[in-house]
Structure 1
Amino acid sequence: MHARDPSITPDYDQDFYAWLVYNAQLLREGRLSTVDAAHVAEELEDMGKSQKRALASHLRVLLIHLLKWRCQPQLRGPSWRVFIRNARDRIEAIVADSPSLGRLPQELFAQEYAKARKYAADETDLPLATFPETAPFSLDDALTEDFLPSEIA
């Protein structure tokens, strides 16, 4: 990698990484008047949105696999348990890093369940009606370490 000419301010649209490193250095040095504040603020907001999207994604993956576990007992196996455990761990880690997101899983539960239901139908090739329109388990159950739903009666 070539050394950057310190007299040239990196352009946000041309080299995002160089811009990021440069503005981080300006902040560390307390040179606030030189910081590209508008883009820094935009990036900070995007980071928050990214965390929310990641949380929603991990919740959806968890719900998909819990539904598959419930509706396809003959196919249950270690890989599904790994997906379930990993999704729970990722949700827990995101909330631990950003406790203010702790209420988000409850806010997203119904919305992500509706999506998970469709994905589960696609993945299993079972009719959508196989999967209940409302979750057959609570969010607390879904996030509980050892919870696995029982099969459909």
Structure 2
Amino acid sequence: MTELASLYQTDYSQWTQRNAELLRAGRFEELDIEHLLEELSDMSKSDRRELHSRFLILIAHLLKWQFQYQTLSERWREFKGDSWRSTIIEQRQQISVLLRKSPDLKSVLEETSIDAYADAVELAHKETRLARTTFPNACPYSIKQLLDDGFYPDR
């Protein structure tokens, strides 16, 4: 194991600084290529995990909006769903920022939303105590709807 590869295990911050210095100096043969590739791959995974998480929360709140809002607003006259609306707005904004910073994620929007849907149903089920069968088997919202600031599903 090279000194630089060993540094990766013991002092990550120093490892990143050292690799940056080597890159700037054009000393490519001294780079810790194996760990650099691992880190670059993980950066992409991190963005995908964040996108999944944002979709999970967004979809869960859209499901609650669609399938529970009417019941709550009938029970409590003052219920307007403001906290749900705030969460929906925030998740859409954060997805927009993520897509602006990592435009390559646009290619996995559909796949990620489909993957997040089962988790979103589970979250909506736990938060609302509505039966899982209340919610559709597949995500009822298109990517365009999910990202549309003006879209709120019919109640």
TM-score range, shorter chain: 0.7 to 0.9
Cα distance between partner residues in 2 of 1:53 and 1:94: 11
Cα distance between partner residues in 2 of 1:113 and 1:68: 13
Amino acid at match of 1:18: Q
- Provide the residue aligned with 1:5 in structure 2: none
Structure 1 residue 143 corresponds to structure 2 residue 143: no
TM-score normalised to structure 2 length: 0.84
Structure 1 residue 11 corresponds to structure 2 residue 11: no
Q: Larger relative contact order (C-alpha < 8 A, sep ≥ 6)?
A: 2
- Provide the residue aligned with 1:36 in structure 2: 32
Per-residue deviation at 1:76? 4.5
Per-residue deviation at 1:145? 0.7
From 39, 46, 49, give the equivalent of 1:50. 46
Per-residue deviation at 1:78? 2.3
Tell me how large the CA RMSD over aligned residues is.
1.8
Structure 1 segment 1-153 matched on structure 2, within 5 A:
11-73=7-69, 74=72, 76-151=80-155
After superposition, give the CA deviation of every residue in 1:82-103 in whole Å (9 maximum; x if it has no partner).
2111111121222222222112
Per-residue deviation at 1:63? 0.3
Q: Judging changes above 3 Å, is the alpha-carbon distance between structure 1 residues 146 and 120 closer, same or farther for their aligned structure 2 residues?
A: same
> Which consecutive unaligned segments of at least 5 residues does structure 1 have?
1-7
Cα distance between partner residues in 2 of 1:86 and 1:121: 21
Amino acid at match of 2:118: A
Cα distance between partner residues in 2 of 1:40 and 1:146: 42
Identity of aligned residues (%): 38
Q: Pick which of 46-55 and 25-34 moved more.
A: 25-34
Cα distance between partner residues in 1 of 2:80 and 2:8: 48
Cα distance between partner residues in 1 of 2:33 and 2:114: 37
Q: Is the 8 A contact 2:51 2:112 kept in 1?
A: no
Cα distance between partner residues in 1 of 2:120 and 2:41: 27
Cα distance between partner residues in 1 of 2:8 and 2:114: 38
The structure that is helix-richer by fraction is 2
TM-score normalised to structure 1 length: 0.85
> Which consecutive unaligned segments of at least 5 residues does structure 2 have?
73-78
Cα distance between partner residues in 2 of 1:134 and 1:38: 40
